[in-house]
Amino acid sequence: MAEDAGASGSNNDGGGSSSNIIKEQDRLLPIANVGRIMKQILPPNAKISKEAKETMQECVSEFISFVTGEASDKCKTERRKTVNGDDVCWALATLGFDDYAEPLKRYLFKYREFEGDKVAANQGQGIVDHDNNIEDSNLDRY
């Protein structure tokens, strides 16, 4: 059924209205990646059926679209074109995924710190020591 939607367009490589049709394979995460992630949590001898991988592939792809859509709506309201990590954290919290939003905020902060994004991480006010620990009393705002 989903394959029919992608096959109905004559040539979907250029502009035009047929480019609005998203192929099923472009909408979903690669099934090999989904299977690899699933295997990481299971015992080494566990098997995963193709059906289970496909079901998980649909679920995670839908979840990503759901959260990204909420973050995108926020950006549109604020007249911004770029969705950033803070928008994703906000969307997770807004949608009731607080248990994921808080750890993701901490990860995002650490990532920005690691990448040296001083503007996003600490507005240039913190001091980074040799162990990459930030020493600043203003960090509680994150």
CATH code (residue 44): 1.10.20.10
Q: Count up the domains in the chain and report the number.
A: 2
Q: Considering the domain boundaries, does residue 2 fall inside one?
A: no
- What is the domain range of residue 43? 24-84
Q: Which of 69, 76, 63 lies closest to 37, judged by CA? A: 63
Instruction: Band the pLDDT of 123: cuts 50, 70, 90.
Output: low
Of residues 19 and 104, more confidently modeled: 104
pLDDT of residue 140: 42
Q: What is the pLDDT of residues 64-99, one digit of tens each?
A: 999 999 999 999 999 999 999 999 999 999 999 999
In percent, the amount of the chain with pLDDT more than 90 equals 58
On whether both 117 and 80 belong to a single domain, the answer is: no
On whether both 75 and 124 belong to a single domain, the answer is: no
On whether both 102 and 70 belong to a single domain, the answer is: no
Instruction: Band the pLDDT of 117: cuts 50, 70, 90.
Output: low
pLDDT over 90 at 24, yes or no: no
